[in-house]
Structure 1
């Protein structure tokens, strides 16, 4: 355990976690993501303040983020499903192989430096942002969805990448579906469902791989999963996720795409700054 926790800052810490929970819940419903894109940066700052080592900080952020977005992803999907925009069959086609990808990604993330995980986060975020902001209708891989074999490969890659950067995979799935001509609102709704498959095995993987490092982690940590972070952020983000879903269906398609892209660029910039200047 860490020897010196600045308990005078606990109120600020909890306040930041609660605010992050609100933001992540709204984003989960609005963009079909689990909210990990906002949770990971918030947790990164919180764990920096309380003195978590750079060697394990990013892993702790990702493991905790995956735990938080489990109930948020479920709540977000329920809100989207009620509007009837989920593409039939895609959840199973992408979700099952995504679980295998999560297992591989979380095992790999447990042994690579935090800076590598930050770099993966930046690359994925910039690619997704470029696609969303450009809004080019001719940026297509095809006019119809690919066959089962290709979808399974895509699901595995989505799961592996998601588990390495602490997201539910909704952003990756959204971009994949739009590249094959699925309308943005339907892509967001379906991606929210795919995101349910990813966090649970990811949490288990991070808890196991982080167990040998408990001496470097804050109190109330189960491997690379912070129980305090989960308890502060998960209930709030789950509660507000339906608000984001309602907002998503009220916005024009283009506004939703641009907002998604700008959000991803902001997150990528923060992690780039962390790599360059600490």
Structure 2
């Protein structure tokens, strides 16, 4: 039985333990074909570097609340992911967000007052452990190639996270985000399915931006991200269609990535 997640940990992580040559000197990393933690994940965080690729496969929205983050929608309902099977194995050839590929590793401060980030992992994972097969994490007490690659990837992810935070600040400063709502009327249904609980960029507010502000967004490349998000919203109905085919359109639950599911109208 999996242990309960520690408070304050990000999505997917149940516990965190620093990777150490002393405690994990004989551990190895092995390849897996499925990600069980992804099977019931309907919304996964994205960084701005991923918008260009992610928008081809997923609707990109923003979480609700005071500190929104970009999300790739892999399903419209809580616990539904239309791109993986029940084991977490991909059923479609789609872009996999870096947030997913980073797991079970992440950089974290071992103490609140610490300046440096340390490479940590979720000890409940099946990716690393005392396996006979796989790539060693340490060689002669030093990080092996596999560990160095993981560390570099996590560092790049942290840097992308900072750029994403800067993008979100621009959206907030210019008050471009509004509460989102999507209504889908399937053929033969008495009432439409209404999905709420997320944020989106207002096209009306975008058109009302002052010229100097718009020029700044264009020159910084942020306007391309804005339109990547807006173009991707057309995929919401495609995700709904996938759920219909899979028989995963609950009548009483609706998409709410930031918290409680919302009742469908």
The alignment's TM-score, normalised by the length of structure 2, stands at 0.29
Structure having the higher helix fraction is: 1
Higher relative contact order (CA 8 A, sep 6+): 1
Larger radius of gyration: 2
- Give the TM-score taking structure 1 as reference length: 0.28
